[in-house]
C-alpha cells in the first residue's frame, strides 16, 4: 500500500486507532504510579523498592523496540500492530492475577513485549499515511484522545485500590484492546517495505548494551557497591561503542549511523533523553509523596495528579500556533526552562501546608510537558529520508523508553540518598522528596542547553503550512 491509496475515511479513523494504543499505555502507567503503595503493602514490599514493576516493563520495551521497524517492514504494519495489541492484553490479564512481586514483574515483561511494538508501529503507520506537513496535526489528533488515559488513570486507579483491589487496575485494558483490534482489522493500512536481512548481530550488541546500562541504574537505586556499578556502566557504554564499530562496517545496520548526520534528529534524540530524565520521575514521585509523606489515600493522590493531563490536552491544542510563532528552537529552550522551574516548585509546600497547593503547579506543568513532547518528537523526524523513517522512528521510541526508565531510577536514587541522610532531612521523609524535586528540576533546566544546537528555521517544513 502507498500513501496515495489511503482513503479519507481511513485517515479519519487512523489517529483513533493509534490513540487506543497510547490510551492503554498511558492509563496503565498512571494507574500503576498511584497504586504502587497499595501494591507494595499487599506484596509486603517497601513502596520505594517497587521500581522493578515499572522498570521491567520499560526495559523490555527498550530492548525490543529496535526490531519494531523491521517487523513492520517485513510482515506489514497491520499484522504487527494487531499482534502487539493482543500480547499487551494478555500481559495485562496476567498482571491482574499476580500474587507476588516476581509474578507481577514477569507479567509486566509480557506487557512490554506488546508495548514495544504497539506505539512505534502505530506511529510509523501514521507517518507513512500523512504528508509531512500534516503529520504534526495527525499526531495531535491521536494524542489528544489518548490523554484521557492520564486523567482517568490516577482517579480510577485510586478508587479501585481504595474500594476494590489493585488487581482490577489492569483489567481495564482488555475491552480497550478488543476495540483496538476490531478497528485495526477494518481500517488500519498495511504498509510494507522491501527490507534486507535483519541485523541480528547489531541488535544483540545494542540490546546487551542497553540492558546492562539499565540494570546498572537499577543496582544504583538498590545501593549496591560502587565497583560492580561502575563496571556495569563501563561495559554498557563499551558495548554501545562496539555497536558503533559494527554499524560502520555493514550496509544495513539496525540503526544506520547516517541518522545522526541529520542535525535535527540528533538534537531531538539527545534532547528527549536529557529532558525526559527529569520529567519522567515526577508522575512516580508525586503520588508517592502524597501517600507516603502526607499519609493520604490513593484517591486523593489521583485527584491531585489528574489536572496534569487536563492541561496537557489544552497544550496539544495550541502547540502548532506556538511553534509557528516562536519556532522550534525558541520554544524548546524556553519551555524546558519553565518545566525545570515548575518541577523545583513542587518542593515549596511544606509538610504543614495544604496538600492541594501542588495542584496549580502540576496543572501548569502538564501544559508545558505537552508542548515539550510534541515539539521534541516532531523535530526529530523533520528531516529524515523516507528510507530512514522506520529505523529513525524506532530509535526515537527506544530513546524515550530509556529516558523514562533512567528518570524513574534516577529520581528514586536521589530520593533514597536524601532519605538516608537523617541529619539533612531532620528525620522527615517529606524533606527527602522536596530536595529530590529541587535536584531534578535544576538538571531539567540545564538540559535546555541541548536545544541551542537547533537553527531558527529548523522545523519550518512541519509548521509553515499550518495556521
Tell the residue number behind the cell numbers 524548546, with chain if given. 332
Give yes or no for a contact between 221 and 409, defined as CB atoms under 8 angstroms apart. yes
Alpha-carbon distance 432 to 415, whole Å?
6
Residues contacting residue 296 through CB under 8 Å, at least 6 positions apart: 290, 355
Mark out the alpha helices in 263-346 (DSSP H runs). Answer: 263-279, 282-288, 298-305, 307-345
Alpha-carbon distance 436 to 417, whole Å?
9
Sign of CA dihedral 49, 53, 54, 57: positive
Per-residue confidence (pLDDT) for residue 12, from 0 to 100: 72
- What's the pTM? 0.76
Residue 408 neighbours by CB distance under 10 Å:
24
Per-residue confidence (pLDDT) for residue 36, from 0 to 100: 79
Structural element, H or E, at residue 155: helix 148-163
Q: Which of 330, 286, 285 is nearest to 307 (CA)?
A: 286
Per-residue confidence (pLDDT) for residue 384, from 0 to 100: 72
Tell the residue number behind the cell numbers 562496517, with chain if given. 249
Per-residue confidence (pLDDT) for residue 110, from 0 to 100: 93
pLDDT tens sequence for the chain (467 residues): 555 456 667 767 777 787 778 777 777 766 777 777 888 888 877 776 677 787 788 788 878 877 877 788 778 888 899 999 999 999 999 988 888 888 888 999 999 899 888 877 877 777 777 766 666 666 666 666 556 666 677 777 777 777 777 777 888 888 888 988 888 888 777 777 766 677 888 888 988 888 887 777 666 655 555 677 778 888 988 998 998 899 888 877 878 787 777 788 888 888 888 898 888 888 888 888 888 888 888 788 888 887 887 888 788 778 888 888 888 888 899 999 999 999 999 988 888 888 888 889 989 998 998 888 888 888 887 777 766 676 777 788 778 877 887 888 788 888 888 877 767 776 778 888 889 999 999 999 999 998 888 877 776 666 544 43
Per-residue confidence (pLDDT) for residue 266, from 0 to 100: 85
Alpha-carbon distance 57 to 105, whole Å?
8
Task: Give 340-409 as a DSSP string.
Answer: HHHHHHTT-S-TTS-GGGHHHHHHHHHHHHHHHHHHHHHHHTTT--GGGHHHHHHHHHHHHHHHHHHHHH
Sign of CA dihedral 218, 223, 229, 233: positive
Alpha-carbon distance 40 to 72, whole Å?
38
Q: Which of 237, 213, 233, 262 is nearest to 401 (CA)?
A: 213
Give yes or no for a contact between 304 and 286, defined as CB atoms under 8 angstroms apart. yes
Alpha-carbon distance 349 to 6, whole Å?
53
Amino acid at each position: 500500500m502507498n500513501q496515495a491509496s489511503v482513503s479519507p475515511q481511513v485517515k479519519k479513523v487512523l489517529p483513533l486507532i493509534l490513540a487506543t494504543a497510547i490510551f492503554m499505555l498511558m492509563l496503565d502507567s498512571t494507574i500503576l504510579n498511584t497504586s504502587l503503595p497499595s501494591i507494595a503493602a499487599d506484596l509486603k514490599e517497601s513502596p520505594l523498592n517497587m521500581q522493578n514493576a515499572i522498570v521491567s516493563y520499560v526495559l523490555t520495551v527498550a530492548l525490543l523496540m529496535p526490531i519494531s521497524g523491521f517487523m513492520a517492514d517485513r510482515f506489514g504494519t497491520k499484522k504487527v500492530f494487531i499482534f502487539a495489541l493482543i500480547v499487551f492484553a494478555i500481559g495485562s490479564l496476567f498482571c491482574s492475577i499476580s500474587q507476588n512481586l516476581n509474578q507481577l514483574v514477569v507479567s509486566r515483561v509480557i506487557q512490554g513485549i506488546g508495548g514495544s511494538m504497539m506505539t512505534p508501529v502505530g506511529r510509523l503507520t501514521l507517518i507513512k499515511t500523512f504528508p509531512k506537513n500534516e503529520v504534526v496535526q495527525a499526531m495531535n489528533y491521536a494524542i489528544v484522545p489518548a490523554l484521557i488515559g492520564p486523567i482517568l488513570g490516577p482517579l480510577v486507579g485510586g478508587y479501585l485500590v481504595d474500594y476494590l483491589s489493585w488487581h482490577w487496575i489492569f483489567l481495564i485494558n482488555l475491552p480497550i484492546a478488543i476495540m483496538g483490534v476490531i478497528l485495526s482489522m477494518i481500517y488500519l493500512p498495511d504498509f510494507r517495505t522491501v527490507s534486507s536481512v535483519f541485523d541480528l548481530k547489531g541488535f544483540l550488541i545494542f540490546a546487551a548494551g542497553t540492558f546492562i546500562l539499565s540494570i546498572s541504574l537499577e543496582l544504583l537505586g538498590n545501593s549496591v557497591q560502587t565497583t560492580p556499578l561502575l563496571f556495569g556502566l563501563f561495559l554498557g557504554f563499551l558495548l554501545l561503542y562496539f555497536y558503533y564499530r559494527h554499524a560502520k562496517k555493514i550496509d544495513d545496520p539496525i540503526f544506520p549511523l547516517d541518522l545522526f548526520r541529520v542535525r535535527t534528529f540528533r538534537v531531538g534524540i539527545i534532547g528527549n533523553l536529557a529532558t525526559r530524565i527529569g520529567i519522567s520521575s515526577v508522575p512516580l514521585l508525586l503520588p508517592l509523596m502524597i501517600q507516603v509523606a502526607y499519609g493520604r489515600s490513593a484517591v486523593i493522590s489521583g485527584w491531585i495528579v489528574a489536572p496534569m493531563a487536563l492541561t496537557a490536552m489544552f497544550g496539544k491544542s495550541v502547540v502548532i500556533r506556538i511553534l509557528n510563532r516562536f519556532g522550534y528552537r525558541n520554544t524548546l529552550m524556553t519551555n524546558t526552562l519553565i518545566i525545570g522551574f515548575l518541577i523545583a516548585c513542587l518542593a515549596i509546600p511544606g509538610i504543614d501546608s495544604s496538600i492541594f497547593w501542588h495542584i496549580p503547579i502540576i496543572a501548569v506543568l502538564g501544559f508545558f510537558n505537552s508542548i515539550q513532547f510534541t515539539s521534541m518528537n516532531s523535530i526529530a523526524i523533520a528531516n529524515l529520508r523516507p528510507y530512514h523513517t522506520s529505523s529513525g522512528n524506532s530509535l526515537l521510541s527506544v530513546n524515550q523508553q530509556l529516558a523514562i526508565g533512567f528518570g524513574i531510577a534516577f529520581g528514586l536514587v536521589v530520593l533514597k540518598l536524601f532519605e538516608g541522610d537523617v541529619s539533612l532531612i531532620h528525620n522527615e521523609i517529606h524533606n527527602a522528596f522536596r530536595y529530590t524535586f529541587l535536584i531534578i528540576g535544576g538538571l531539567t533546566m540545564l538540559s535546555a542547553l541541548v536545544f541551542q544546537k537547533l537553527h531558527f528555521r529548523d522545523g519550518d517544513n512541519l509548521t509553515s503550512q499550518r495556521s
